[in-house]
Amino acid sequence: MEIATGHHWVAVRIPDDCYAVAANQIVIEKINFEDSDNYMWSDGIEEFVNLHGLNPDNDQWNFRHIFGTNTQFDHHYNTPRVWFVQRYFNPVAAANQTPESSEMPFIRKPERKIAVEDIQYILKSHYNETKYDPLGDGNEHDRKVYRAISLSRTAQSHILQMRNSVDSKHAAVQWIEMGVPSFNAYVPFFANADDTDVSYRELPKKMDLKSAFWLNEALAMVVESHYSEFNQADLDFQKGLGEWCRRKIHEVDEHAKKLECKQLTTYLTGQNHEIASHCNAKAKELLFDLMTQGTELSNLTFKMDPNL
């Protein structure tokens, strides 16, 4: 659903085998006013557009063309992020698109199935393996020309997953990432719960490693400060924790089959606390390990020239 003009809107149904990307701009395209099963719209939107002569096209009713923007700001802030996602999920179909393409489709059918880990990769991304990566080896202009998906000021990122492979009572999982997504892990929490772990519930104004947010902010800062030295260890940490979380979810699912109502909610709540505790401990372990290694990476470390 997208709103334009403050009082008119449209909505489109996204097919089950497709995905959509929206990056701070109007992206919905053609609206079929004769197909109310797949499209919805505000009363009077057609008349409003006609009355004010807003449609720039002769042969179609394209919401993006009518109410959207196609500016230099879009080309550097919005469309590059859509480009990166579509080149990842549709490397063949999107091969001819560029970061500044303004007519990329809103809805696409991916060229393969999409896993939670794929969504994590996208939300963690910063034009990885392209010349536009701010952390890569491109030139000064290319590394700073486009706004990445993952930013240092991202405070929290999440994925809402509704699984159809298990009973609906424990099918909903919210993957939560605190701090800069590029450097931190997504932690799964079962939605059928009646309490949130204190490390995720409370946010002190000042640094406190008991807080999941500050713990992950600290880890991100340390990794980025020595990116070439610490990046692989950080990637290994994220992969290892992701594998643990997958196994944990399966284990919880198996036990949850036997439970009902309040008993199930209590169990899932307890498991959420265990998951938070384990993931916080692993993040702290890596943080302390990297900080220890970092003491040898200071520019003030003196090493005698071996030729002397």
- pLDDT by residue (tens digit) across 89-141? 999 999 999 999 999 999 999 999 999 999 999 999 999 999 999 999 999 99
Q: Which residues contact 262 (CB under 8 A, 6 or more apart)?
A: none
Q: Rounded to whole angstroms, how far apart are CA atoms 105 and 18?
A: 12
Q: Rounded to whole angstroms, how far apart are CA atoms 115 and 100?
A: 27
pTM value? 0.93
For 210-237, what is the mean pLDDT?
97
Q: Which residues contact 175 (CB under 8 A, 6 or more apart)?
A: 116, 120, 158, 159, 160, 161, 186, 187, 188, 189
Tell the residue number behind the tokens 């036997």, with chain if given: 258
Residue 5 confidence (pLDDT): 80
Question: Any idea what DSSP says for residue 62?
Answer: B
Residue 300 clears pLDDT 90, i.e. is over it:
no
Orientation angle between helical segments 227-256 and 261-294, nearest 10 degrees: 160
The pLDDT tens digits for 154-180 are: 999 999 999 999 999 999 999 999 999
Q: How far is CA 283 from CA 150, 194, 210, 297, in A?
A: 19, 25, 11, 21
